[in-house]
Amino acid sequence: MTRRAVHKRRRAALPAKLGQAERCLEAALDARARLLANPQTNVCRVLNGAADGFDGLVIEKLGDVLVAQLHEGRLTLPVSAARQLCERVRRQLSAHAVYAKFFGRDRAAAPRETDARQRDPDPWLGEPVEAELAVLENGIRFLVRPYEGYSVGLFLEHRANRLRVRRLAAGRRVLNAFAYTCGFSVAAALGGAASTVSIDVSKRFLEWGKRNFAANGLDPDSHTFICSDILDYYRRARRQGRRFDLVILDPPTFARLRRPKRTFAIAENLDRLVAGAVELLDPDGRLLLATNHRGTPRRRLERAVAEACAGRGWEVVERPRLPADFRGDPDYAKSILVRVG
């Protein structure tokens, strides 16, 4: 077959692919209609990659802004077709802008120009928006930054878990071990927690977290924020005799730490993380343990808890399902809620 014939064949196939994409898009939007109409929540995952028929393409709604993730090596649509699809979603949801995040096969080796691309205030589609926007999740205000980089300030797969923490928190001393922008801590404080301690290695993220507290009428000075490696904090807390009634442990899959200078991998550190958390829990305490590491199944989380609780009673209270807009990809994120005796 000549090059011209191949090109003509590809052009002929494209409308059929786009027609199928349109049908998949309508099905995805229909499945999320109730969530999209919820006046207390204006964030959700509109397209969930292969689960919605769009392998390599994810679209998240953050208030009036969409963030599209395009994953190299898995994206089945041409980038131009993905852009066309994003424009369709933008118009249908009346979003002001679409910001695109291009994920290479190895994010750790991403060149500087790729990282800079994720921080461009000019959107892929639509009109520029403010650097920081307030969004709603179950009535809680969170500040997001659409062009801050790869992570915009809120991990939407934990929407139900943050609500779960809010309902559990009344009167409890809460430790948020990998706090990021302190979403779990805000939820706990709004739920009446006796105290919250937010730990993260990034001072910038903790400052962002304080702004999330203030955005909800909470005084950050009444809560504790500590810039520290969590394993170092465990040792400090033991020396100080600190105890907690609820620990949230949602570690990253991989990270490079500056102080102390080392790399962190969940596969290698899970047992130490869980053991340290359990040691700080008072009897009848709760541990919410989560991971989005595809290579760590839920049974591995439970095994880590069983080993950490040797000599103490424990039970899995709940094995939360992912929110409806994340369904269809069970390996993406897992969590368990455990009671420790």
**What is the residue whose two structure tokens read 């709603």?**
136
Assign 256 a pLDDT band (cuts: 50, 70, 90).
low
Summarised one tens digit per residue, pLDDT across range 201-210 is 999 999 999 9
Inform me whether the pLDDT recorded for 16 exceeds 60: no
pLDDT at 251: 94
Domain 23-135 has CATH 3.30.750.80: yes
pLDDT at 2: 43
- Of residues 296 and 107, more confidence is placed in 296
Q: What is the rounded distance in angstroms from the CA atom of residue 222 to the CA atom of residue 248?
A: 19
**What is the residue whose two structure tokens read 């409806």?**
324
Summarised one tens digit per residue, pLDDT across range 44-101 is 999 999 999 999 999 999 999 999 999 999 999 999 999 999 999 999 999 999 999 9
Contact call for residues 206 and 194 (beta carbons, < 8 A) = no
pTM of the model: 0.91
pLDDT at 19: 74
The whole-chain average pLDDT of the chain stands at 91
- Of residues 5 and 204, more confidence is placed in 204
Sketch the domain layout of the chain as residue ranges.
23-135, 155-340
Contact call for residues 82 and 57 (beta carbons, < 8 A) = yes
Neighbours of 91 (CB within 10 A): 11
What DSSP letter does each residue of 221-288 carry, written as one string?
GGSEEEES-HHHHHHHHHHHT--EEEEEE---SEEEETTTTEEEEHHHHHHHHHHHHHHHEEEEEEEE
Which has the closest alpha carbon to 189: 216, 211, 157? 216
Inform me whether the pLDDT recorded for 263 exceeds 70: no
Q: What is the rounded distance in angstroms from the CA atom of residue 71 to the CA atom of residue 272?
A: 32
pLDDT at 330: 87
Assign 257 a pLDDT band (cuts: 50, 70, 90).
low
Summarised one tens digit per residue, pLDDT across range 293-332 is 999 999 999 999 999 999 899 999 999 999 999 999 988 9
| Residue range 155-340, CATH number | 3.40.50.150
Q: What is the rounded distance in angstroms from the CA atom of residue 19 to the CA atom of residue 40?
A: 33
